[in-house]
Amino acid sequence: MEPIKKHVRYPSRTVNYEDVHEICEISALASTQTPTQCSNHQFIPKLKIKSDDHNILFDIDFPQSGCISICEIITIFETKYNIPYTSFFLVFDGKIVNKWQYIFKHQITQLQNTVELVPRMLGGNDVLDMIMMPINMIFSPIIAPFVLIGEIFEFLAALLLFIIKFTVWLFKFIAWLMFDLLNPANFSADFISGFITIVYAICSAAINLVVTLISLSTTAIGNLFSSTFWGWDQSNLTSEDKQSAYFKNAKNCRNKKCYLSQHNTIPFSMLFGTILCPPLGVFMEYGMTGWLNILLCSVLTLLFYFPGLIYALLIIYNN
């Protein structure tokens, strides 16, 4: 039974799989007859598989037959990288290669030795990118130098502005240093004012100490004097005091002794308080219930004291 011959289309002619080995042997013979020499060693043809971002994915060495099947490369992508064939193209020498084609050893040079993987455009995605790609490829090399020149001018303008600002600041700093900080007149004035401030602080501290001592002494004497007139009885308790009602009935008298003045007379403490402050005498006589008289006496006292004193004495003695 004869084997079934499957024909594939090649750029120059139509061949079957039985002729492939013969073609590979011819290409291998041709490549050995014209080797490409490097600086120190003989060039060994090797096919490089590159992704769309120009990264080398893997290399393929040519077998003894001298040809590599595109189907073999597609199988590596589908099995090792899990990339289906329907999602990419393979480009070699600027042309799309099909699944049934071969790459021969004599086609590989130092400058042309890669097969590039290009993703397919499914459903019209990135149409704008496809449209702009040739435009960018054409105009980017033209526009890039002008952009670079513009960035250089921008940097120079910023540098010039910085130099101007720094120069202005430097002149201001030198002026302040010469006319303010190192000026002998200002230095002497600052020295004298500082010396006066220190002397004033020392004297003020001494005076404040004396004033504080006098204030404390005056307060102590005043407290003793005021308690003598307006305070409770500070004498020792006698036997008569202990038998009195104010001492026994502590809840009402609150342990304090009250002194009653004689009939139709005014206590000396109230008279003394009225002389010191007329509204105080009115308050001692009426309490807060006489707030109107206290307010009127205060207003009269503000009129040079004597009207308020006369009004307070009249109210107290006419009660």
- Which tens digits make up the pLDDT trace of 239-261? 776 777 666 665 555 555 555 56
Count Cα neighbours of 158 within 13 Å in the Cβ-side half-sphere: 6
Q: What is the pLDDT of residue 57?
A: 72
Distance CA 30, CA 45 (A): 13
Q: What is the pLDDT of residue 170?
A: 94
* Backbone angles phi and psi of 8, in degrees to 5: -125, 155
Q: What is the pLDDT of residue 140?
A: 80
Copy the structure tokens of residue 89.
Answer: 């193209």
Lowest mean pLDDT among 208-217, 256-265, 266-275, 276-285: 256-265
Q: What is the pLDDT of residue 305?
A: 92
Q: What is the pLDDT of residue 11?
A: 38
Please report, for the chain, the start and end positions of each structural domain, with discontinuous segments joined by +: 7-122, 150-182, 183-254, 260-319
Residue, of 91 and 160, whose pLDDT is higher: 160
The pLDDT of 15-42, averaged and rounded, is 39
Topology of domain 7-122 in CATH is: Ubiquitin-like (UB roll) (3.10.20)
Mention every residue, 6+ apart, whose C-beta is less than 8 A from residue 252.
none
Residue, of 248 and 22, whose pLDDT is higher: 248
Question: What one-letter code names the amino acid at 163?
Answer: I
Lowest mean pLDDT among 79-83, 127-131, 213-217, 231-235: 231-235
- β partners of residue 15: 8
Distance CA 135, CA 137 (A): 5
Band (pLDDT 50/70/90 cuts) for residue 318 is confident
Report percent pLDDT > 70 for the chain: 67
Are the C-beta atoms of residues 74 and 85 closer than 8 Å to each other? yes
Q: Is the pLDDT of residue 83 over 60?
A: yes
Q: Is the pLDDT of residue 26 over 50?
A: no
* Average pLDDT over the chain, rounded to an integer: 74
Q: What is the pLDDT of residue 152?
A: 94
Residue, of 53 and 26, whose pLDDT is higher: 53
Band (pLDDT 50/70/90 cuts) for residue 34 is very low
Task: State CA 133 to chain mean position distance.
Answer: 41
Q: What is the pLDDT of residue 199?
A: 92
- Whether the full predicted model's pTM is greater than 0.85, yes or no, is no
Lowest mean pLDDT among 80-84, 190-194, 242-246, 249-253: 249-253
The pLDDT of 96-120, averaged and rounded, is 77
Are the C-beta atoms of residues 8 and 15 closer than 8 Å to each other? yes
Q: What is the pLDDT of residue 103?
A: 82
